Amino acid sequence: MNGYDQEALAKFRLSGKILRETREEMRNLVRENMPIIQVCEKAEALIREKGGKPAFPCNVSINEVTAHYTSPPNDERRIPEKALVKVDIGVHVDGYVTDTAFTACFNSEHKKMQSAAEHALKAAIDNIHAGMATSKIGGIIEKSIKNRGFKPISNLTGHSVGRYLIHAGTSIPNVTQISLAKVKAGEVYAIEPFVTLPEAGGRVEGTSEKTIFRLVKAKSVKNPYAKQVLKYVQANFRTLPFAERWLKGVVPSEGHHEAFKELLKTKIIAGYPVFVEISRKPVSQAEHTVLITENGCEILT
């Protein structure tokens, strides 16, 4: 058994319950033409109301945008008509992270691609158990997606989660891959197939846009406002990702821009590039967090 005690497991389960309820409420709420910032803020507010904390900013990734987009401050973008919208959310309870995602589909042409991600996730969950090689799980996901006539995104993976850790070290690929890693009983994993069209490139690449940030290394800074923002980040997010929106009011608004720029320039914080599919084809996603057991898994989300 990997090292989570009963108290830790109870926190993982509570984290997962909060996230499951939030996801189901968000499913009924996301609409075409809705401001993206409204989706992000609603999901994050629901998580807090239910007693959790967002483990990362709510990601709203539209069409070929695959991951790592959250609304920047004063975002004016809206969900376009006929969009395929991936909403990816995370909760932590005392640091214990769960992670889930769903795809809202407003284009009947892409319904099958939306359900292909859900079926691949279900196939992985139905088969996973302690001792299974991560490469085998990747193979199951790949086969399920290809059997439905679609293509997996090969360079995005699921991941083990831990306390204050969203990527705790082990990946679960979405394709067959050469790896000796095996999942163990007591470990907690997020499994997340990403699906695109058969003619697509089937990979993602980073763009220059960054909307989600993390603390890399705390160092001393001259700008007093930067110092204050850094202190706030350390106290509130530790190593977990955050959005610039979440820093509103930490320092007077006229000082915020310089302070944030200073923290980026000194590499105290860094941004995650927004990922897009390399051939700009639409992508769907489904995700659950599971606790591995001897004979299977417990779905936490």
Give me the 176-195 binding string for Mn ion, x by CB under 5 A, dash otherwise: --------------x-x---
Query: Helices (DSSP H) in 128-223: which residue ranges?
Result: 134-147
Question: In which residue are the tokens 């075409």 written?
Answer: 32
What are the b/e assignments for 209-235, b being 16+ CB within 10 Å? ebbbbbbeeeeebebebbbbbbebbee
Instruction: Specify the DSSP element, H or E, that contains 87.
Output: strand 84-93
Q: Which residues, 7 to 66, sit near Mn ion by CB under 5 A? A: none
Instruction: Specify the DSSP element, H or E, that contains 53.
Output: strand 53-62
Q: Show which residues are catalytic.
A: 88, 99, 159, 167, 192, 287
CA geometry: angle 197, 199, 285, nearest 5 deg: 20
* The one segment of 24-32, 124-132, 219-227, 283-291 that binds Mn ion by CB under 5 A: 283-291
Q: Which is nearer to Mn ion, 58 or 269 (CB)?
A: 58
Cβ of residue 220: shortest distance to Mn ion, in angstroms? 33
If one asks whether residue 88 binds Mn ion (CB under 5 A), the answer comes out as yes
Q: Which is nearer to Mn ion, 99 or 262 (CB)?
A: 99
Cβ of residue 199: shortest distance to Mn ion, in angstroms? 26
Beta pairing partners, 49: none
Q: Which is nearer to Mn ion, 171 or 266 (CB)?
A: 171
* The one segment of 5-13, 42-50, 87-95, 124-132 that binds Mn ion by CB under 5 A: 87-95
Give me the amino acid identity at 107. N
Q: Is 139 helix (H, G, I), strand (E, B) or coil?
A: helix
Q: Which residues bind Mn ion (CB under 5 A)?
A: 88, 99, 101, 190, 192, 287
